């Protein structure tokens, strides 16, 4: 380990690199604090960490009490009403004794207490204590790199530059543990590459108290330790090696004790290793989530670290070829942690730009590449080229992160510019995790539509269909496409052939159809009168439900088309009234219009139908459930769902805003 005396002995070029490192660190501290004050929010699981900090300071325990919430509202006025609501609903995690606890161990909450104490001493508001702590702990991690990383001063500068120009920076604004965990992992990896397994294990273990998946790196460190000791002893048996090195082994084991605190606590309080165990999904999507965390163009590593990721894989391959153990172990630690958090099924939530879990493993990318490149590529020219590429990589990462934040603030329910670019121009090159596609296409949290029966269509901004996702339960989508797509005559046969091939090959799995940009497949923009004229079909079960207001723009022509399909209620002048109509094989079986919530339920053969309509003043909702699944667009105006009795599936769901400009939304 370098001492301060050794650091101060640097001369010549070292002074130049030291000065650059200092400038970068000071710039981070200033910009980080400015960002914290200007962008501070209570996103993610901030309520868990914030209530935990109050519980610890009030009664030195984690169980949540009503008095803690009173104190929380005094310290953090506004924005945390959900804490009281969650507590009163009994929705925090309950232990076997009936007490409510936050979902996470109190490590991060304890870490902010020094800043809380200082701000209280000076009678300052508590609003920013978590965000300031984020900046200070990351600055501390950078100082560890600066003073203790056993690398040349140039490589230390490269490490600091890459760590500062990281998309992790945006998580400063979260009152959540991502930045703290990342800081601990930086420190752990610095000591690991220095050869100090004890401190590496200690800091990784502290990080693991907040999320058990960090323990995967701990297992890699343990394996590395025993392999190293075994090789040094030559022909000794494995048990002999352990016996001869019991003091070192015990010392290392002690450093891993913090990682055991959380699971032992959980076993005592909840009788399970982690209360998030139900979120674990060892399913067919595990490897897809793993790949998504690495390469997805919305939240993966690739769009933010394109150059660094290439260099990382180059280092890994070279390390394996040259049998460089530390490079291999760092790579294994990286992949083990990513694979471990890929077990969590809820991948499409709580993200600002890059996936927040990825913030924990960005230090692996940086420190692996910086610490290993001159070991594996000993030619000075090659090393210099890599150093230049790393500087460029930092600029690319900063620019790509800024582009996403400028575009939509890192919003996790919309596609990023780079994802849209590939889907618009080369859709075959980007086939995202299916639920990420749904999540970003429909602008909803999660997007886990396991029971979907209709295709999901991505349209470019100019209205051209570019990518279609077929769910496993989609049988014959052509009727759906007839309602939703307009295909140029010359492209019709090709498009239909592509659909047939997909349907023949996807065999119960999710599948994409990528539409060549040279083909003309566009969104069908129906006029309401044309659409209504299609509903008088003996194969259709048609359900209509009004939400909000649907009368203002219904003219004589629309009223006539409604009467042609058998409807008798005149919606004109019925401002904000609720309305339901059900048409089976061309015959109206139910119709009601009134100033109250209307509910309807019926079974048609093997099809159950449940409908709700509520005008603006009586609930403002539209539900149209077919066999328990809600297909209503739940938009203002007329919501219409068409079920094909022949194909035994919903073939269209649409809404016409008959209050405003008769817009059609799908």
Sequence-distant (6+) residues with CB within 8 A of 580 are 543, 544, 545, 546, 590, 591, 592, 598, 600, 611, 613
Q: What mean pLDDT is predicted for residues 583-594?
A: 95
Q: For residue range 467-516, what is the model confidence (pLDDT) as tens digits?
A: 999 999 887 788 888 888 889 989 999 998 999 888 888 777 899 999 98
Sequence-distant (6+) residues with CB within 8 A of 107 are 177, 180, 206, 209, 210
Q: For residue range 332-367, what is the model confidence (pLDDT) as tens digits?
A: 999 999 999 999 888 878 889 999 999 999 999 999
What pLDDT was estimated at residue 150?
96
Backbone angles phi, psi at 56, to 5 degrees: -65, -45
CA–CA gap between residue 217 and residue 72 (Å, rounded): 35
Q: Does 110 have pLDDT greater than 60?
A: yes
Q: What mean pLDDT is predicted for residues 262-280?
A: 85
Q: Does 617 have pLDDT greater than 50?
A: yes
Q: Does 6 have pLDDT greater than 50?
A: no
What pLDDT was estimated at residue 231?
76
Distance of CA 575 to the CA centre of its chain: 41
User: Angle, to 10 degrees, between the axis of helix 325-341 and the axis of helix 286-295?
Assistant: 120
Residue 7: which pLDDT band, with cuts at 50, 70 and 90?
very low
What pLDDT was estimated at residue 229?
78
CA–CA gap between residue 559 and residue 570 (Å, rounded): 7
CA–CA gap between residue 133 and residue 579 (Å, rounded): 54
Range scoring the smallest mean pLDDT among 300-314, 520-534, 550-564: 520-534
Asked whether 377 and 386 are in contact (CB, 8 A), the reply is: yes
Backbone angles phi, psi at 606, to 5 degrees: -100, 20
Distance of CA 461 to the CA centre of its chain: 24
Backbone angles phi, psi at 587, to 5 degrees: -110, 130
- The label of the residue with tokens 């990784």 reads 204
Euclidean distance between the first and the last CA atom of the chain, given in angstroms as a whole number: 62
Residue 463: which pLDDT band, with cuts at 50, 70 and 90?
confident
What pLDDT was estimated at residue 665?
84
DSSP 227-249: HHHHHHTTT--HHHHHHHTHHHH
Q: Does 648 have pLDDT greater than 90?
A: no
What pLDDT was estimated at residue 12?
52
Q: How many residues are recorded in the chain?
A: 666
Q: What mean pLDDT is predicted for residues 51-66?
A: 93
Structure tokens, 665: 């939304």
- The label of the residue with tokens 């997805």 reads 296
Question: How far from 239 is each of 221, 229, 232, CA to CA, in Å?
Answer: 19, 11, 14
Asked whether 111 and 210 are in contact (CB, 8 A), the reply is: no
Asked whether 7 and 21 are in contact (CB, 8 A), the reply is: no
DSSP H helical ranges for 40-128: 46-59, 66-75, 81-88, 107-111, 113-121
3-state DSSP call for residue 245? coil
User: Angle, to 10 degrees, between the axis of helix 66-75 and the axis of helix 46-59?
Assistant: 110
- Count CB atoms within 10 A of the CB of residue 388: 10
Question: How far from 30 is each of 36, 40, 176, 665, CA to CA, in Å?
Answer: 10, 15, 20, 46
Q: What mean pLDDT is predicted for residues 94-115?
A: 93
Q: What angle do CA 506, 507, 509 make, to 5 degrees?
A: 65
Q: Does 1 have pLDDT greater than 50?
A: no
To the nearest whole percent, how much of the chain has pLDDT over 90?
70
Mean pLDDT, the chain, rounded, equals 91
Q: For residue range 138-184, what is the model confidence (pLDDT) as tens digits?
A: 999 999 999 999 999 999 999 999 999 999 999 999 999 999 999 99
Q: What mean pLDDT is predicted for residues 421-437?
A: 94
What pLDDT was estimated at residue 9?
43
Q: Does 590 have pLDDT greater than 80?
A: yes
Q: Does 5 have pLDDT greater than 60?
A: no
Q: What angle do CA 92, 349, 33 make, to 5 degrees?
A: 90
DSSP 154-212: HHHHHHHHHHHSSGGGGGGGBSSTHHHHHHHHHHHHHHHHHT-HHHHHHHHHHHHTT-G
DSSP H helical ranges for 245-379: 246-255, 257-270, 286-295, 306-321, 325-341, 362-376
Structure tokens, 642: 């068409």
Structure tokens, 225: 């330790």
Q: Does 10 have pLDDT greater than 60?
A: no
DSSP state of 354: B
Of 594, 599, 643, 653, give the one whose Cα is nearest residue 621.
Answer: 599
DSSP H helical ranges for 352-433: 362-376, 380-408, 417-425
Element (H, E) at 613: strand 607-615
């Amino acid at each position: 380990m370098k001492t301060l005396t050794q650091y101060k002995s640097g001369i010549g070029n070292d002074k130049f690199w030291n000065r650059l490192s200092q400038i970068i660190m000071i710039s981070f501290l200033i910009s980080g604090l400015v960002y914290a004050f200007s962008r501070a929010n209570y996103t993610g699981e901030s309520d868990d960490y914030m209530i935990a900090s109050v519980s610890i300071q009030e009664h030195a325990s984690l169980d949540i009490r009503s008095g803690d919430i009173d104190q929380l509202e005094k310290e953090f006025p506004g924005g945390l009403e959900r804490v009281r609501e969650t507590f009163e609903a009994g929705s925090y995690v309950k232990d076997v004794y009936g007490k409510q606890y936050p979902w996470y161990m109190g490590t991060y909450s304890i870490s902010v207490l020094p800043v809380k104490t200082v701000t209280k001493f000076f009678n300052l508001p508590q609003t920013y204590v978590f965000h300031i702590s984020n900046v200070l702990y990351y600055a501390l991690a950078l100082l560890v790199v600066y003073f203790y990383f056993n690398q040349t001063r140039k490589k230390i500068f490269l490490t600091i530059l890459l760590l500062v120009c990281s998309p992790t920076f945006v998580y400063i604004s979260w009152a959540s543990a991502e930045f703290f965990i990342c800081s601990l992992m930086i420190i752990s990896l610095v000591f690991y590459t220095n050869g100090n397994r004890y401190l590496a294990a200690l800091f990784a273990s502290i990080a693991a108290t907040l999320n058990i998946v960090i323990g995967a790196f701990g297992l890699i460190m343990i394996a590395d330790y025993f392999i190293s000791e075994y090789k040094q002893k030559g022909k000794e048996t494995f048990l002999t090696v352990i016996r001869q090195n019991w003091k070192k082994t015990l010392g290392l084991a002690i450093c891993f004790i913090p990682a055991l605190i959380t699971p032992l606590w959980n076993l005592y309080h909840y009788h399970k290793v982690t209360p998030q165990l139900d979120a674990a999904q060892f399913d067919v999507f595990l490897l897809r989530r793993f790949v998504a965390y690495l390469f997805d163009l919305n939240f993966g590593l690739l769009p933010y670290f394109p150059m660094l990721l290439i260099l990382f894989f180059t280092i890994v391959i070279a390390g394996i070829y040259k049998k460089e153990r530390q490079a291999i172990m760092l790579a294994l630690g990286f992949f083990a942690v990513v694979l471990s958090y890929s077990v969590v099924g809820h991948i499409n939530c709580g993200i600002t730009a890059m996936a927040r879990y990825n913030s924990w493993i960005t230090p692996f990318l940086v420190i692996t590449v910086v610490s290993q490149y001159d070991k594996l590529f000993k030619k000075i020219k090659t090393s210099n080229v890599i150093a230049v590429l790393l500087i460029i990589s930092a600029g690319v990462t900063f620019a790509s992160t800024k582009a996403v934040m400028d575009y939509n603030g890192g919003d996790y329910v919309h596609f990023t510019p780079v994802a849209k670019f590939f889907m618009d121009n080369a859709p075959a090159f980007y086939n995202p995790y299916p639920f990420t596609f749904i999540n970003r296409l429909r602008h909803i949290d999660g997007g886990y539509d396991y029971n979907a029966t209709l295709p999901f269509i991505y349209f470019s901004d100019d209205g051209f269909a570019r990518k279609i996702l077929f769910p496993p339960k989609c049988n014959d989508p052509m009727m759906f496409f007839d309602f939703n797509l307009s295909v140029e005559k010359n492209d019709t046969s090709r498009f239909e052939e592509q659909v047939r091939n997909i349907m023949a090959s996807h065999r119960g799995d999710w599948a994409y159809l990528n539409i060549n940009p040279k083909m003309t497949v566009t969104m069908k923009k129906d006029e309401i009168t044309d659409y209504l004229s299609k509903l008088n079909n003996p194969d259709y079960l048609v359900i209509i439900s009004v939400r909000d207001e649907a009368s203002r723009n219904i003219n004589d022509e629309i009223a006539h088309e409604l009467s042609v399909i058998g409807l008798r209620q005149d919606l004109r002048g019925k401002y904000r009234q609720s309305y339901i109509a059900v048409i089976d094989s061309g015959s109206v079986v139910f119709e009601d219009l009134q100033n109250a919530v209307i509910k309807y339920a019926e079974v048609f053969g093997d099809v159950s139908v449940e409908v709700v309509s509520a005008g603006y003043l009586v609930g403002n909702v539209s539900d149209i459930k077919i066999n328990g699944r809600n297909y209503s667009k739940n938009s203002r105006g007329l919501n219409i769902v068409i079920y094909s009795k022949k194909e035994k599936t919903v073939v269209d769901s649409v809404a016409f805003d008959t209050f405003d400009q008769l817009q059609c939304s799908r």
